[in-house]
Every structure is written in C-alpha cells, then in structure tokens.
Structure 1
C-alpha cells in the first residue's frame, strides 16, 4: 500500500472519529448544558477513548466552540459563512428583495441549527474566558458580514441614495445576532420560520421606510 493511500486512510479515520465526537458532544451539550457535560461523557457517548477526546480538543470550551462552528455552517468543510452559497446569493442576486430573502433564510437556517448551542455558550461565557472571547468574535463576525452585505448592495446601486451604511450595519448586526434570535424564540415563542419572516420584513423596512 502506497504512502498516499495510507495517508488518505488515516485522514479518513481522523475525520470519522471527529464526526463521532462532535455528534456526541452536540447531543450532550443540548441535553445537559455546559456544566452537565464532561469530556469523559462525550467520549463514552461517541464510543472512543477518553484520551482521544482530550488529545484532539484539550478542553470542554474548545470542544463546544468546534461544535458551534460546525452547527452554524452545517458541516465540517473549511468554508466560512461568507463562502457559503446562501451568503454568495445574498451578495450577488439582481434584486435587493432577493438578497434580503437569501440573508434572512440563511440566518434562520444557521440559528435553527445552532441557536440552542449558542445559548449554552452564552450561559457558560461568564465563567469561561475562551467562550466569552468566542462569543465576542461571533458578534464581530456578524457585524462584518452585515457590513459586506450592505456595502455590496450599495455598490451595485440597490440601496436608496444616502443610506448610512454604518447605521445599517450596526442595526442589522443586532437583528441577526444569536441573542436576538434567542429572545424572539423564547419571549415571543417564534418558530424559526416566524423569525425568518420577521427578519426579512425588518431588514426590508430598514431601507424602504
């Protein structure tokens, strides 16, 4: 067996093991929260050695961060939000309404997959500096994504003249944040689809009213 084949087999085993660990961790964090989940329990759920989980992730905070990152984009491929097809459509569709539709749908899909896990992060962040840092990085990434969204729309002549890109960015970053999604689903009992409709309507009103 050639070295390339052996390397591919090893990479496949590593990927398979990581997928098992992430599935197990996702279930346990959702069911038991941060404090109630241990790396040992994750290993048992995944049916791998405890040392495998410790060597691969090191700490529970690092594992939760990886779980959230995968849930947000939907898979383990090394493609960030800006490279995902829905975000590309949100920055390139010919009409602003189509772009807002794509943005609202994409954010809803992310939150439906990861909202409950993001809630675990927010609850643990006050006592876990790594998670607080990750939460803040997520907020900043959301703001950067929304700035790119509005800047592209403005460059393509789809926004009314004189719209304040800074204000649109800051306002829509709050609208699309995990905290807002969680507030809407918990306080207003919105379904993910109702959140998407609210977000679509609100983003539209930002530039049409």
Structure 2
C-alpha cells in the first residue's frame, strides 16, 4: 500500500540489491552452521561460533533465524531440498521420476535415486540431530519430525506402488511402509558411502535391490 507524505502518495521502496545481500547472508550462516554442527556437534556449537564462521555479528544470526533450533531446522530443510527455495521435496524436479514411474520396479529405482541424493546432502546433519536429541528436548522434537516426515515419504511410495501392482505384504500396507521407512534412512548412506567407502552408484544399486525385496512380491 502506498504511504502518504505531504499529501502525495509514495511507493514503498524495496531494494533488490538489499534483498539479495540478505539472502547471501542467510546462505553464509546456514553453510557455516551446517559445517559446525556436523564437525563439532550441535551442543558444542553456539550462535556466536556460527556468526564468526559466517563473518557476521551474532545478532544477525538471531535476527535471521530466531534461535539455534530454528537455525538447525533451516539447515535440515536446505540439506533435504538442496537450496532455500520454499518448495517441498516431493515437488522438486529431481523427485519427478518417482511420480512419472509406470511400473513398480521403475518407481523403486527412482526412489532409490532420491534417497541417494538426499543421503549425500543430509546424512551428516541427520546423525548430528540424532545424537543431540538425547540431550535437548527441542532437538528431540526436531528428530521426531524427521522420523515422521520420512515415514510420510515412505507412505507416498508404498501407496503409489500399490496402485501399480500387488505388494509383498498383500493388504498389510503399514508393514510395507515400515520396510520402506527403514530403507529411506540417510544413516544407510552415512554407513556405506561415508564410512565404508562405497560409491554412490554402488549404494544406489544396493538400495534399489533392498527396496524391491522389501516391497515387490516374489516372482512366480
């Protein structure tokens, strides 16, 4: 809405340069927080530490994210999505092959690719949250949200698979969701790729096999 000064309407001024500068600052803060949370642990990283690593003042971090748990949530969101755009994972272009799949096998192959991509970005921060959840009620709430969201993702995949054919578990959809929920854990990527040295292609092929074994009925 226009402001009025001296009887003349004036438009609210929004500087594109200022907005881009603020966005770069947020990105620097999130990047610094992600590195410090994973390297030091959540509990041992303060907002002052993040501010110093990002090259900004502590009040800037607080103003941008409100609290350390708020910053942690943003780090997680960007690790899952790949950027700071407000677009859900299931609506991202790289998730599209899951929706476009016309066979159960193609669906699970596509979903294994999604899990591999997310694992590469989020395995470290997921482990950080899991460890911190034992010491912080606020982080425990974040961890429970992650578990619920992973299960929601598993449910979408199982329901789509059921539309394309029978499941190994028959009508026991919840048991099928249990199996996919176990497979979409970024900790698997952390264990096999980051710790054991598997390539991403080896992991993706292995995970595809696990998902197929978990969901598809035995061939006649």
Q: Distance in 1 between matches of 2:88 and 2:76?
A: 13
Offset, 1:185: 4.7
Q: Distance in 1 between matches of 2:34 and 2:195?
A: 24
Cα gap change, 1:179 to 1:7, in 2 (>3 Å) = same
Counterpart among 18, 21, 39 of residue 13 in structure 1: 21
CA contact (8 A) 1:86 1:102 kept: no
Q: Say whether residues 1:46 and 2:68 are aligned partners.
A: no
Match of 2:159 in 1: 151
Offset, 1:179: 3.8
Match of 1:94 in 2: 102
User: Which stretches of structure 1, 4 residues or more, deviate above 6 A after TM superposition?
Assistant: none
Which deviations, in whole Å up to 9, do the C-alpha atoms of 1:61-81 show, x marking residues without a partner?
A: 221221121011101111112
Q: Distance in 2 between matches of 1:45 and 1:3?
A: 38
Cα gap change, 1:95 to 1:43, in 2 (>3 Å) = same
Match of 2:212 in 1: 204
Cα gap change, 1:7 to 1:93, in 2 (>3 Å) = same
Q: Distance in 2 between matches of 1:22 and 1:120?
A: 15
Aligned-partner SS, 1:6: coil
Match of 2:134 in 1: 126
TM-score in terms of structure 2 length: 0.83
Q: Distance in 2 between matches of 1:71 and 1:37?
A: 18
Aligned-partner SS, 1:199: helix
Match of 2:66 in 1: 58
Aligned-partner SS, 2:62: helix
> Any gaps of 5 or more consecutive residues in structure 1?
none
Q: How many residues align?
A: 207
Larger Rg: 2
Cα gap change, 1:112 to 1:3, in 2 (>3 Å) = farther
Q: Distance in 1 between matches of 2:40 and 2:199?
A: 22
CA contact (8 A) 1:86 1:103 kept: no
Offset, 1:182: 3.6
> Any gaps of 5 or more consecutive residues in structure 2?
1-9
Which deviations, in whole Å up to 9, do the C-alpha atoms of 1:42-100 show, x marking residues without a partner?
A: 11111111110022223222212211210111011111121122333212222222211
Aligned-partner SS, 1:205: helix
Q: Distance in 1 between matches of 2:200 and 2:141?
A: 27
Cα gap change, 1:127 to 1:94, in 2 (>3 Å) = same
Offset, 1:160: 5.2
Match of 2:3 in 1: none
Q: Distance in 2 between matches of 1:47 and 1:187?
A: 32
